[in-house]
């Protein structure tokens, strides 16, 4: 039987199509050799450089400090309170004690003003005692005229011995044992916030001189640091004495002394 050539051609075409449609088998590649090195990881990013160290600045040396002052252990003599009766007294105006424009004054400022005025008036010595919340400034005993004026400087402070009538050792020793006759005065400036009244005690010249001898030579800082308040005042107590050749009298309070005129000449702040 003779085959039709057309069928042969068709058969070949079908076989060709089937062959082209067959799945393609992918052959695995060769296995990696066990001795082959592993790929190294990518290099790590280098860390950022650390900031430079902060320079250490040494603090400037502190200036040397003054040593703390030792505590004030001064034993302050006490002025008699209430004070003995005086021949006269007068309150010192505050305008003489506090500088104009001063907002706050301390007791040491008041002492400075008093001391300056006393120096200008010729007073050669003074001492300090304590009174309630203040101080008492005691002047040196001076010799005065009968009307209250100070004696000339050559006689004003010569209160410890009488005049020499002959130049001999016995006359000198005798003059030391007998105080000069005449009129004498001692002033006490009392700075305190309390009113000043008198006690019933009477004072003689020798006792008044002890205030000067036993007092301190300057105002203690512990008192000078106190404030001079509106209640504070300064009262001048004027003690006047008379000594005759035969006796020593106490405080002179006779009205014949005429205290008011003598007060005008008694201390730097009068008048």
| 33-45 confidence digits (pLDDT tens) | 555 556 566 666 6
**175 is written with which tokens?**
């003059």
pLDDT the model gives residue 128: 98
Tell me the average pLDDT of the chain: 75
pLDDT the model gives residue 90: 93
Full-model pTM: 0.62
Of 249, 243, 238, 144, nearest in space to 198 by CA? 238
Res. 224 pLDDT band, cuts 50 70 90: very high
What are the boundaries of each domain within the chain? 88-264
Residue 62 burial (CB < 10 Å; 0-12/13-18/19+)?
Answer: exposed
Within the chain, residue ranges assigned H as helices are 5-21, 107-120, 153-156, 169-177, 205-214, 221-224, 259-264
- Average of pLDDT values for 122-135? 94
Residue 200 has pLDDT above 60, yes or no: yes
| 82-120 confidence digits (pLDDT tens) | 999 999 999 999 999 998 888 899 999 999 999 999 999
DSSP code, position 166: S
CA angle 117, 120, 126 (to 5 degrees): 65
């Amino acid at each position: 039987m003779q085959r039709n050539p057309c069928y042969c051609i068709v058969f070949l075409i079908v076989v060709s199509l089937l062959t082209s449609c067959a799945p393609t088998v992918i052959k695995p590649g060769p296995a990696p050799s066990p001795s082959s090195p592993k790929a190294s990881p990518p290099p790590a990013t280098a860390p950022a450089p650390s900031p430079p160290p902060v320079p250490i600045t040494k603090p400037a040396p502190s200036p040397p400090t003054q040593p703390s002052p030792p505590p004030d252990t001064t034993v302050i003599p006490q002025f008699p309170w209430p004070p003995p009766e005086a021949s006269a007294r007068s309150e010192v105006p505050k305008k003489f004690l506090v500088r104009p424009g001063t907002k706050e004054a301390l007791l040491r400022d008041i002492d400075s003003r008093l001391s300056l005025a006393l120096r200008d008036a010729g007073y050669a010595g003074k001492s300090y005692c304590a009174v309630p919340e203040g101080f008492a400034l005691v002047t040196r005993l001076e010799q005065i005229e009968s009307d209250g004026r100070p004696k000339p400087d050559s006689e004003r402070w010569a209160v410890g011995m009488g005049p020499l009538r002959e130049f001999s050792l016995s006359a000198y020793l005798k003059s030391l044992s007998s105080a000069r006759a005449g009129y004498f005065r001692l002033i006490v400036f009392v700075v305190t916030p309390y009113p000043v009244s008198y006690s019933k005690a009477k004072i003689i010249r020798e006792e008044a001189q002890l205030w000067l001898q036993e007092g301190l030579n300057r105002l203690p800082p512990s008192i000078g640091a106190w404030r001079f308040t509106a209640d504070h005042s300064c009262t001048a107590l004027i003690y006047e004495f008379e000594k005759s050749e035969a006796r020593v009298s106490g405080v002179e309070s006779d009205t014949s002394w005429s205290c008011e005129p003598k007060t005008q000449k008694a201390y730097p702040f009068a008048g």
